[in-house]
Structure 1
């Protein structure tokens, strides 16, 4: 396992404490979704107008929208987010990320770069396991993609009525915001969902009581008479056929298994040639399932004994993950436990965000304490000198094992884009297993430059007057940087004796912010209507179609895309139906 491989353990664990200063509770009662059922109850064969593979961040709003003009089947490989306190309660966020059980809503995988990561496996997708930040894509992004601006705004508003909230900003996040403004990340845009250069407070999918609201909540918009959602329904392959007079194969059904490994079949109704199968399985699942169904690079499919339906060499290409680097800052005073609520959107295309209050497991607190002790005891050729008083106070930060809360904040930077890309390849023919994924972090020098500039901005914020009360004055930033290199970010520090550089810091401590995308990109695998090139009745609608991640966090735009494309598809269906009648 390579650089950054252990950071999700550390970062995910301390994120488990992010919550508001309000009583946390959760409801075990799920919404009255009579149409959500276990796949074990499904008939052997069913017929629908649309079959959506994946009830995730895009799939749920897409299904809810389409149900107002057609019959919809959603096949979700995970379970329900409702009644699971690790999902519904923000205080338990970390345990969800660290859950390695076969039924975990956060399926673990490690990229070929050696960076540990997760992929969602639950109704609601990534919105059920993420840190909750909600922000729209920029108007420039919308224009470049070619979406209709008015319909995009209407779709965002449709989403926001159910899942988006204004967070309460307390002391630490205020200090971060004021520090960003002080060092020139201007202007102050206050609270807004919009993507604007400068510093702003974004939205959150956690309400004032700390309850998570996921894309699954958008199913309340659905027509319950026309939609069925099967849980623990793992699609094995998409079925294709050739129709006389058509040059392209047509998708017409799927084979899926329930929790007992019983096979079921679902087919498109033949009442309309507008009926479709829609892949919304995410940036990992969608290209993987295309390949398992015979659509992908022919040489790779043949190597796994898969019959080639269409030689599609760009399936699985263009995989990208926004690299993230963080700085942990011990605080001499207590800090609130806060969500990621403030973002600095810089002109050099790096995002600066932060959170405070670290809630750790006993074992991780001990490990962090031991690492910090070793860090403080390094006296041979130290790259910096920390005054004993600062060392003693900072040591107290990691000795608070009794209550498992560390008095500190974390400031992170995420690269916009990124320019560096990789690829996805099949590991085997089992859809439950993770494929090989390579992201090639910092392959493009421009990404590394953005990281360096982002870290410099973080250093300036830490040194700012606005942030001063939340850091030890006698502990230089160099000490904080070296501290990061002793934490469980890496299995080993490769450059302990090398001359310090922010460039090497970025490389050595790179991790994921879980915003990976690509694999079924527009113009390469799908057209601008998200139809798979060279195949009839098949679309891909999710983050796998993106070239760049939209905004500081993609979840708002992925949910918007589900609603947006649902409306477009229904419009085309109605227009087509009217023309046929006339």
Structure 2
């Protein structure tokens, strides 16, 4: 596949829409100045108490933005986003960690800790996870498309619609090039070069960071919207979906939503008259099942325990939630290493994916970076001791801060290098989401059950073994110490103090134990509203009418090495399908 070009509009648009051509995540200006340019984007407190639209899309994230933009071409659409506009420090690779380290109540990355003890984050910003992630872009496999029952031709055109303006070919620095060659030397073949396709072997994928290192996001899709057809409200927290009974209709019908603005005022939005109009939930893996339950669609006993009136007893809402477990190894380098996020991926046949990120402190000075990451619980940060010294249940903020303070006392050269990480396919293990409270602003309780199934643990071990072969390869030798064995990287605390394994009573250091003790997230969680269990093949919610769920919560397995591209594609794909269906009706 040829490398995509720089961002450009996909079609001629009115001057008002052209204002959105300034990337929402790139503007180093205040939110007020950005809003001045984006006339259809407003604060929720400026919304009327009552309004009506053809479509109400809940969640302005990776799926919600392309979906709303597409539907606005011929209909009146309201897009409700609980967060705000991305700010300047999210705009470049150099600032990748800044948003994730933000622990303020208005942070675009809302922290949560799973019941397994693994620290995680969910997006709370227009553009969703594409404003927070490492930018890697790759399509789902052909097998995944067939299994999902998607129209392959429409899938491809939906991908291309976004790729024309959002996706770039990365400039591969020496560390990433060495990783690519090392994967090939380790037997992860063939060499597939640069491609968006998900194929076995080693490849360079796409990125949403352009050649100057600036981030582009799903919010950029709003430039394709018809300005008079779209209204976007920021800081709008939806508390419930409204349903009513209609004569001659077997199921409750969604007819609107209630949302609250930052000042606490409630607003009601209704669907305009007509059977073709719908509420569409695109609030993500945590938000979509949570909102269904808050609206009375979910397991009866669980809803009643929270004082929620049960509309539809649907025991599968919130079930089958999974997170791809990630384990990584920090590789100290004898030479300085240039900053790079994920660009190269190895796809072995063993069911795990190998990737890498590099750069001393990811652009953060040791003096404050370590403590900032510790206070935010730390993710993929060598300053927190790789989290390997702390098994999941022991990763308290206080413990991580102590680990970070210990790391700050080390020589700065200890942090030169990069991570090689593995993420397993699937996974097979899954868990569930439950409400903690009826407050829509609160995170639900999430259990992922990492490595509950032996198959997942076996895949992790194969992935770690592949990383070991990469470390020992000739191709990667320029970025490893000549006297450093794989064992010493983990155990020699005097010379390599970053990867320290947890101690156990039996001093177990098996690969299986390593996988369990050092598990982290790579933010690829999914499920909770599975196709066939909660929604049908057209993403309509079973047991009600006028309601769909379109986002990663419908995935049973995470597609390919990274779900970003398939989720963006799904928003465009379903927008086109819904429009066609509307015209047929």
Sort the TM-score into its range (normalised by shorter chain). Answer: 0.7 to 0.9
Match of 2:188 among 185, 204, 216: 185
Q: Which residue of 2 aligns with 1:313?
A: 315
Cα shift at 1:87:
1.4
CA contact (8 A) 1:61 1:563 kept: yes
Q: Which residue of 1 aligns with 2:73?
A: 68
Q: Count the aligned residue pairs.
A: 525
Unaligned runs of 5+ in 2: 1-24, 375-381, 390-406
Q: Which residue of 1 aligns with 2:579?
A: 570
Is 1:443 the counterpart of 2:460 in the alignment? no
Q: Which residue of 1 aligns with 2:52?
A: 47
Cα shift at 1:494:
4.2
SS in 1 for 2:567: helix
Q: Which residue of 1 aligns with 2:225?
A: 222
Match of 1:110 among 110, 113, 116: 113
Q: Tell me, in whole angstroms, the C-alpha distance in 2 between the residues paired with 1:397 and 1:156.
A: 47
**RMSD, aligned α-carbons:** 2.3
Cα shift at 1:89:
2.3
Q: Which residue of 2 aligns with 1:331?
A: 333
Residue deviations 1:509-550 (CA, integer Å, cap 9, x gap): 000000000000000000000000010000000000000001
Residue deviations 1:486-521 (CA, integer Å, cap 9, x gap): 97899x924275132111100000000000000000
TM-score (ref. length: structure 1): 0.87
Match of 1:37 among 35, 42, 60: 42
Residue deviations 1:393-433 (CA, integer Å, cap 9, x gap): xx9995128xxx93111100001100000000000000000
Q: Tell me, in whole angstroms, the C-alpha distance in 2 between the residues paired with 1:214 and 1:124.
A: 6
Q: Which residue of 2 aligns with 1:212?
A: 215
Q: Tell me, in whole angstroms, the C-alpha distance in 2 between the residues paired with 1:484 and 1:514.
A: 29
Distance 1:487 1:231, change over 3 A: farther
CA contact (8 A) 2:490 2:499 kept: no
CA contact (8 A) 1:59 1:562 kept: yes
Match of 2:292 among 268, 290, 293: 290
Unaligned runs of 5+ in 1: 1-23, 376-394, 577-582
CA contact (8 A) 1:320 1:418 kept: yes
Q: Which residue of 2 aligns with 1:269?
A: 272
Q: Which residue of 1 aligns with 2:477?
A: 468
CA contact (8 A) 1:397 1:406 kept: no
Distance 1:62 1:176, change over 3 A: same
Distance 1:365 1:435, change over 3 A: closer
CA contact (8 A) 1:52 1:73 kept: yes
Residue deviations 1:77-96 (CA, integer Å, cap 9, x gap): 00011xx1221122112121
Cα shift at 1:481:
2.7
Q: Tell me, in whole angstroms, the C-alpha distance in 2 between the residues paired with 1:315 and 1:216.
A: 28
CA contact (8 A) 2:298 2:313 kept: yes
Distance 1:209 1:25, change over 3 A: farther
Q: Tell me, in whole angstroms, the C-alpha distance in 2 between the residues paired with 1:300 and 1:116.
A: 25
SS in 2 for 1:193: coil
Which aligned pairs between 1:70-89 and structure 2 lie closer than 5 A?
70-81=75-86, 84-89=87-92
CA contact (8 A) 1:283 1:544 kept: yes
Which aligned pairs between 1:401-550 and structure 2 lie closer than 5 A?
406-482=415-491, 493-495=502-504, 498-550=507-559
Q: Tell me, in whole angstroms, the C-alpha distance in 2 between the residues paired with 1:496 and 1:475.
A: 27
Is 1:171 the counterpart of 2:174 in the alignment? yes
CA contact (8 A) 1:319 1:518 kept: yes
Q: Tell me, in whole angstroms, the C-alpha distance in 2 between the residues paired with 1:327 and 1:572.
A: 49
Residue deviations 1:143-189 (CA, integer Å, cap 9, x gap): 00000001000000001112111000111001000000011100000
Q: Tell me, in whole angstroms, the C-alpha distance in 2 between the residues paired with 1:305 and 1:501.
A: 47
Residue deviations 1:238-279 (CA, integer Å, cap 9, x gap): 010000111100000100011111100000000x20100000
Q: Tell me, in whole angstroms, the C-alpha distance in 1 between the residues paired with 2:287 and 2:260.
A: 16
Which aligned pairs between 1:229-248 and structure 2 lie closer than 5 A?
229-248=232-251
Q: Tell me, in whole angstroms, the C-alpha distance in 2 between the residues paired with 1:248 and 1:25.
A: 45
CA contact (8 A) 1:461 1:467 kept: yes
Distance 1:173 1:496, change over 3 A: farther
Cα shift at 1:126:
0.5
Distance 1:317 1:168, change over 3 A: same
Cα shift at 1:341:
0.4
Distance 1:345 1:369, change over 3 A: closer
Distance 1:484 1:364, change over 3 A: farther
Cα shift at 1:370:
10
CA contact (8 A) 2:383 2:408 kept: no
Q: Tell me, in whole angstroms, the C-alpha distance in 2 between the residues paired with 1:25 and 1:156.
A: 23
TM-score (ref. length: structure 2): 0.86
